[in-house]
Structure 1
Amino acid sequence: MILVTGGLGFVGSHTVRALLEQGESCVLVQRRAAEAPTSLAGAPVDVTVEQADIGDLATLRAIGDRHDITGIVHLAGPMPWATGDERPVDDVRTALDGLLNIVTVAQEWGVRRLGVASTIGVYHGVDAEGPLREDMPLSMTSGHLIPAFKKVGELLGDHLASATGLDIVNYRIGAIWGPLGHPVDLFFPVPHLVHSAARGTAPDPAQLTNAHAEDAIDLCYVRDCGRAIALLQTADHLEHRTYNVASGRATTNAEVLDAIRTVVPDFAVELPTGGSGRRNHLDISRARKDVGYQPEYDTERAVADYIGWLRAGNDR
């Protein structure tokens, strides 16, 4: 049975679905009381939802008393966001405690693999064109809180894997979009464009970040992302401790607009030109070689699927 923190979230719910389709059973850890989402209805194996704060070690241990946990996918992302209480050190301690508690129970339960979510953002500051590989040296600085703490998590995970003998694997996740995602993303404009097209509204320029036509990023549709994580998590053996989880190509905003117009021909939105022109993407050769991962959703198929899902009455 695989425990998934953040299993009711955006990436988590798709990862759980993919794990269930592989015949795995799952325990979803949720800080607030909740039931399994309707998106998991009809899955081939039942799921169990446990209410727990990963900052509470005793509660996590109790889950292990009730279930035979054989693996963990740690997708919950506690961050030391500004809380207004002016206690940044305490906020950082709380954020790190969650990761350390997960490693503690993983060791106590003797799990086969602990997979930890990282981010494409760790490559910020890498001065390279083309593919971004897992073995590239990373910058010691970060432009945002999320990649900063993901880098810290990767370093801690590498140390703890060596010290404990645990198989701890980092999943560097690309720019994820699709069903259950937020309609506005802080880092790229695609979700907002798709939502606007599906609802027949004009996008709000204030909600469009990095929105030049030429701006590009490694867009990975969330269904592919969940499947990649599931393949990595259940593999008998992995050759590496870090894997890029992405599409393996850079997609421009202009390409997304073209794909949207194949579904919504009258979507009369034009983006400004003058973007950076950088075409970095994540190299997914490791995942291809080790677990046979291959993205199934190109831009047109992903846009059509997402718009169809939204038009079916889903709100995200």
Structure 2
Amino acid sequence: MILITGGLGFIGTHTARALLDLGQSCALVQRRAPDQPLPEPIAGEAGTRIFVEQADVTDLPALLKIGERHEITGVLHLAVSVPWPPSPHPVADSRAAVESLLGVLQAASDWGVPRVCVASTIGVYGGVDAAGPLREDLPLPMTSGHVIPAFKKIGELLNDYIAAQSGMEVVNLRIAGIWGPLGRTASPFFAAPQMVHAAVRGTVPDFSQLRSPVYAQDGLDLCYVKDCGRAIALLQQAPRLNHRTYNVAAGRPTSNGEVAEAIRKVVPDARIELPEGRDPNGPGRDLYLDITRLREDTGFEPSYNTEQAAADYVAWLKAGNER
């Protein structure tokens, strides 16, 4: 059984579904008890192959008790081990973030789990000056422009140290921009969710939460969430991994204009107007990842192109899942 922290979250739910499809069962750990039925992708397996466990990942005794109820054979740490959003207590928040990661690793070690996969982010590549797709072996700057990549870098360093000292396989997952069912209505980092939800509502997308203006030619490595969940499941289940760090991505840039055009094919009257060209104050290039390691060690290939992803997402929202 695979234990997934944040297992009822956006990526966690789709990863659990992918693990079920690979024949696994899952224990989904959440800090708060669920206040609504399980999401549709996994609802039919509740109590048979999906088991929801309530525990704070900073509470090691509570985590270890889960291992008394289930035979845990692998761990996916997808819960947010980051002090986000910011609060007036940065020291306490930072301690809790690091303790959550260490607690999960300690529990995995006590259970004798051979592999733990830990969510990192595409944001760790911020500030890397390299052309083309970004590889996992590129040196990363010590600085970060946002708290999330800052703490993910801290986490990767801890993971590498603990893996080297303990012999437990700890794998860093540098996850790209993820969009699709169960995701946020609005992202602070990329425009795709805002465009899809606005199109279904018949409104103009609100980009006010984004950290930079939205131009048609600017893009990012966008991976549809169903592909993301499958990639993570394949990494967790692979008989052998040759690396400690993997990019989890589509492996190509997707521009805002490409997303808008894909949405218009299924919602022709979508009210999406984007200025042409690139943000004049932006980096002038798109951030996208090399997925050679992922392909070679798992056989992964994305199943959804931009048009297929937009059509699937719109259909899900129109089926009554709009928030």
TM-score by length of 2: 0.94
Per-residue deviation, 1:280 = 3.0
1:93-143 CA deviation, whole Å, 9 max, x = no partner? 111000001110111101121000000000001011210000000011001
Q: Match for residue 23 of structure 2?
A: 23
Secondary structure of the residue aligned to 1:176 is: strand
User: Is the aligned partner of 1:280 residue 2:287?
Assistant: yes
Match of 1:181 among 156, 180, 183: 183
User: Is the aligned partner of 1:76 residue 2:79?
Assistant: yes
Per-residue deviation, 1:83 = 6.0
- 1:112-261 to 2 correspondences below 5 Å: 112-208=114-210, 209-261=212-264
Q: Match for residue 89 of structure 1?
A: 91
| Range that drifts further, 290-299 or 41-50 | 41-50
1:49-99 CA deviation, whole Å, 9 max, x = no partner? 000000101100111111100000000013223664x33212111110000
Conservation of the 8 A alpha-carbon contact between 2:253 and 2:286: yes
| Letter aligned with residue 109 of structure 1 | W
Secondary structure of the residue aligned to 1:73 is: strand
Match of 1:292 among 294, 299, 311: 299
Cα 1:227–1:210 shift into 2, 3 Å = farther
1:262-285 CA deviation, whole Å, 9 max, x = no partner? 111122421113324413310000
Conservation of the 8 A alpha-carbon contact between 1:3 and 1:29: yes
| Letter aligned with residue 96 of structure 2 | T
Q: Match for residue 11 of structure 2?
A: 11
Per-residue deviation, 1:205 = 4.1
Cα 1:205–1:18 shift into 2, 3 Å = closer
- 1:14-53 to 2 correspondences below 5 Å: 14-34=14-34, 36-43=38-45, 46-53=49-56
Q: How many pairs does the alignment contain?
A: 315
Once the two structures are aligned, what percentage of the paired residues are identical?
59
Per-residue deviation, 1:254 = 0.6
| Range that drifts further, 40-49 or 160-169 | 40-49
Secondary structure of the residue aligned to 1:131 is: coil
CA distance in 2, matches of 1:308, 1:43: 23
Secondary structure of the residue aligned to 2:104 is: helix
Q: Match for residue 59 of structure 1?
A: 62
Secondary structure of the residue aligned to 2:66 is: helix
CA distance in 1, matches of 2:80, 2:194: 23
1:230-268 CA deviation, whole Å, 9 max, x = no partner? 000000110000000000000100111111111111224
Secondary structure of the residue aligned to 1:301 is: helix
| Letter aligned with residue 259 of structure 1 | A
CA distance in 2, matches of 1:210, 1:305: 26
| Letter aligned with residue 304 of structure 2 | Y
1:151-183 CA deviation, whole Å, 9 max, x = no partner? 000000000000111000011000000000011
| Range that drifts further, 53-62 or 274-283 | 274-283
Per-residue deviation, 1:199 = 1.4
Conservation of the 8 A alpha-carbon contact between 1:27 and 1:48: yes
| Letter aligned with residue 21 of structure 1 | D
TM-score by length of 1: 0.96
| Letter aligned with residue 317 of structure 2 | L
CA distance in 2, matches of 1:157, 1:269: 42
1:8-42 CA deviation, whole Å, 9 max, x = no partner? 00000000000011010100001111253333133
Unaligned runs of 5+ in 1: none
| Letter aligned with residue 10 of structure 1 | F
Conservation of the 8 A alpha-carbon contact between 1:129 and 1:280: no
Conservation of the 8 A alpha-carbon contact between 1:249 and 1:282: yes
Match of 1:107 among 106, 109, 120: 109
What CA RMSD, in Å, does the superposition of the two structures yield over aligned residues?
A: 1.5
Secondary structure of the residue aligned to 2:182 is: coil
Per-residue deviation, 1:201 = 1.1
Conservation of the 8 A alpha-carbon contact between 2:197 and 2:322: no
